[in-house]
Every structure is written in structure tokens, then in C-alpha cells.
Amino acid sequence: MDDVPLCPDWWPRLIWRLHFPLHIPGGGTPPNPVNMPVEMDKIFQGLAMHTMTYSMADQKAAQAMRTQIEQTLSNSIKGLSEAHDRATKR
């Protein structure tokens, strides 16, 4: 991906980040103290999506989405150590 411009002030940052995901220099998913690990970015996106479902008109559909998002978040959190080990090739 080319150099992505900064998110404009008038555009919701979450939507911008979904279109232009975190770029880690050098490719891959190395653990990097400067950049947020890819797995953590996925978790934060899940938390944001979960929160947004509360503003949906169809709360029955929103609850179904929250249930799925919670399962995905749980799996992501349980897999953080494995993701770190893969990134560091342990």
C-alpha cells in the first residue's frame, strides 16, 4: 500500500482505519513496540463494533451481532500468546 494520507478531521477515524488498516513497516506482523500489534487492532475494532450495535434500530439483530462479536473477541483474546509466538517465530 502506498503512503496513506492522514484521516481528515471530518471523517470518523474508525471507518478510516477499517479502510486503511494498520501498516507495520517491513511487512508481516512482527512484535513492534512502536506500532500496535495487529491482533490488538482487531480486538479494538471488535470492541468498537460491539458498542455501535447498541445504536441499531433492530435490537434483535443487534443482539445476534453482539453474540458473534463476543465469540470472536473471546477467541482473539485467548489467542494473543499464540499470535505473539507466531510473530516472533517461537
**pLDDT, tens digit only, all 90 positions of the chain:** 556 667 777 777 777 777 777 665 555 555 555 556 678 878 888 998 999 999 999 999 999 999 999 999 999 999 888 887 877 776
Which domain does 79 fall in, by range? Answer: 36-90
**Measured distance CA(39)–CA(85) in Å, rounded:** 12
Q: What is the pLDDT of residue 35?
A: 54
- The number of distinct structural domains making up the chain is 1
Q: Is residue 86 part of a domain?
A: yes
Closest CA to 47 of 86, 81, 73, 10: 73
* In a domain? residue 28: no
- Write the burial class of residue 83 (CB in 10 Å: 0-12 exposed, 13-18 middle, 19+ buried): middle
Residue 4 lies in a domain: no
Say what the pTM is: 0.63
